[in-house]
Structures are given as structure tokens and as C-alpha cells.
């Protein structure tokens, strides 16, 4: 039975981009971005969303569909105005050699109300990407530098870098004396999944530790 799952892809497929810790890497589109440390990062077909722990503070990454205008500045102004955001300041810029426009905006979002947003429109390989961080205006200022650092981490991947990205996969591990779900998660899985998830994957109660000689499923980094 275990042989049937050995080698199966776990989590994101690189063809749709993958999350590694707080980094999002998209080999086919040849870019990566690093979100702030400690944030939870979720990938979906429409966008990547990162959320700060315990607060309504977010960042998102999405491809601008059918961008209006020529150049990052015109595209940024058209998209943000269409979304109901007012620009407080902004300037043309470069992000790791890529044409960009980085602005500070005020507007509102469903479910959050009034927000302040730091947003960049970045041109890469003929596509335009929006990278934005936002929160309620009264808590935004202390967060702005971390959001801007994340925006500036957006960078192209070389063909060699992209080819070296592989998905995480399920592997089979034989439990050794002294092992626990926690130690296995840290040592064998490099904490890709936590101890509780590892236990559940193996049909164990979280409080029930594996026994020496048990063959269990683990996740190995691609």
C-alpha cells in the first residue's frame, strides 16, 4: 500500500508555482518573491496571498490580466483607479532590473473596509505583475518597510534556476528508536510539514508516537 504513494507530488506543482516557506517560486514564468518572515503564504490559480500572523495584514501577487496602457506607470494608474484606489504618491522604479512603478494608495476592500496599500506593477517577460501589501491605515506605517522589502525581492529566475526547482514528494521512512513525529518532521522532512500533519498523514493520533520499525510517509523537499 505504501509503495502506491511513494514518490507522489505533495503540495504545489511547479507548473503552477510553488510555495517554499515564505517564498513563492514560479519556474515556467521564471520569477520568485519572498514574503515577510513568519507570514502564511497560500497559492491559488488566481493569486498568491500572504497573511501576517494574528492580524488583518496581507500581501498579494497576481498577474494583471489585459493591462490597459503602455508602460508600468500607465498600467498602474489605470488598474488602481479602476479598482477605486486613490494614489497618494508613486514613482517609476526598477526592481532587480525590471521596469516597475511603485505607489502608495488609499481605498477600500470588501471585508476589510478602508485600507492603505503599497503596490508595485512590475513588467517581466511581457507580463505585468501586481505585488501589493495592505492593512487598515492606522497600523500600516510600521509594516510598510517589510512590504516594500518583499516587493523588491521580486526577481527573475535564470533557465538553470528554474530547471532546478522540483516539487516536494512523499517518501517512505522506517522509524528508528527515539524517533517522534516532531523529530522526523524536522530531520527527514526539513519541517516542510509539522508533526501534527505528519501524524495525521499516517492515520495516527497526534499524541500517539510512531514505534521503531514502523514504515511511515514523510515529505521530502524537491
pLDDT tens by residue, 168-217? 888 889 999 999 999 998 876 566 788 898 999 899 988 899 999 999 98
All domains of the chain, ordered by start, with CATH? Answer: 14-163 (3.40.1000.10), 168-220 (3.10.350)
Cβ burial of 144 (10 Å; 0-12, 13-18, 19+) is middle
- Tell me, what's the pLDDT at 7? 52
User: Pick from 47, 41, 50: which is nearest to 16 by CA?
Assistant: 47
**What are the tens digits of pLDDT across the range 123-166?**
999 999 999 999 999 999 999 999 999 999 999 999 999 888 87
pLDDT of residue 9: 59
d(CA 102, CA 193): 35
pLDDT, tens only, 86-107: 999 999 999 999 999 999 999 9
Report the percentage of the chain scoring pLDDT > 70. 92
Q: Choose the weakest-confidence range: 26-40, 43-57, 71-85, 184-198.
A: 184-198
Q: What pLDDT shows up at residue 1?
A: 47
Q: Determine the pLDDT at residue 185.
A: 85
15 φ, ψ (degrees, to nearest 5)? -60, -25
Residue 108 and residue 102 in contact, taking contact as beta carbons nearer than 8 Å: no
Q: What is the mean pLDDT of residues 5-32?
A: 80
Amino acid at each position: 500500500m505504501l509503495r502506491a504513494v511513494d514518490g507522489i507530488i505533495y503540495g504545489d506543482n511547479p507548473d503552477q508555482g510553488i510555495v517554499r516557506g515564505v517564498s513563492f517560486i514560479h519556474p515556467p514564468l521564471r520569477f520568485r518573491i519572498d514574503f515577510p518572515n513568519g507570514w502564511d503564504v497560500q497559492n491559488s490559480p488566481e493569486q498568491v496571498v500572504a497573511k501576517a500572523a494574528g492580524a488583518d495584514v496581507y500581501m498579494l501577487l497576481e498577474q494583471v490580466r489585459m493591462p490597459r496602457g503602455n508602460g508600468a506607470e500607465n498600467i498602474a494608474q489605470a488598474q488602481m483607479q479602476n479598482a477605486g484606489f486613490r494614489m497618494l504618491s508613486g514613482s517609476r522604479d526598477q526592481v532587480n532590473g525590471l521596469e516597475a512603478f511603485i505607489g502608495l494608495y488609499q481605498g477600500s476592500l470588501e471585508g476589510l473596509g478602508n485600507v492603505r496599500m503599497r503596490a508595485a506593477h512590475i513588467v517581466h517577460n511581457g507580463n505585468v505583475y501586481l505585488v501589493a501589501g495592505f492593512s487598515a491605515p492606522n497600523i500600516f506605517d510600521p509594516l510598510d518597510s517589510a512590504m516594500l522589502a518583499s516587493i523588491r525581492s521580486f526577481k527573475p529566475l535564470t533557465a538553470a534556476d528554474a530547471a532546478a526547482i522540483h516539487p516536494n514528494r512523499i517518501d517512505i521512512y522506517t522509524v528508528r528508536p527515539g524517533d517522534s513525529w516532531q523529530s522526523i518532521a524536522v530531520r527527514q522532512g526539513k519541517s516542510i510539514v509539522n508533526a501534527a500533519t505528519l501524524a495525521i498523514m499516517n492515520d495516527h493520533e497526534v499524541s500517539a508516537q510512531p514505534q521503531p520499525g514502523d514504515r511511515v510517509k514523510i515529505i521530502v523537499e524537491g
